[in-house]
Structure 1
């Protein structure tokens, strides 16, 4: 149960940071922001594991940067597609 809460919390933080780092408005709902942030965290963990930098003796800066980079890339890719698929209401 707590793992699901952590996934949602990290997804929310990464998704919001990704939206803040991107220029212009991202017309995606909050739930999609959380999902993309969580997916970015998962991809960042996977890539950092493949690179061998997932677990270090200190703060895992490379892992966190990868997580944020994937979240930014996902929000940047999905936001235009989402706004094109949804007509203005």
Structure 2
């Protein structure tokens, strides 16, 4: 059940990040889920750096979305440099 929960939270975090950050980020459902899952890892790392326990709940979701937004900005920078 943990794997399915991770996919669901990843999807929600990815969708929220894409809704909050302006711009046209053309990616499908799978990439949105991956964005949310990797964003959760980035957000958890940031929360750990500043001393906040973000292992779950609302705070975990907030830091997951923050991490996903950071990844979206990085993705946009990489894609724009390639000229795609």
Query: 1-side partners of 2:51 and 2:21: how far apart?
Result: 29
Counterpart position of 1:32: 31
Counterpart position of 1:69: 66
Change (3 A) 1:52 1:24: closer
- Structure 2 gaps of 5+ residues are none
Give yes or no for the alignment of 1:16 onto 2:10: no
- Structure 1 gaps of 5+ residues are none
1:27 and 1:83 in contact (8 A); partners too:
no
Structure having the higher helix fraction is 2
- When the two structures are aligned, how many residues end up with a matched partner? 83
**What TM-score, normalized by structure 1, do the two folds share?**
0.70
1:27 and 1:79 in contact (8 A); partners too:
no
Query: 2-side partners of 1:83 and 1:34: how far apart?
Result: 22
* Aligned-pair CA distance for 1:24: 2.3
Larger radius of gyration, structure 1 or 2?
A: 1
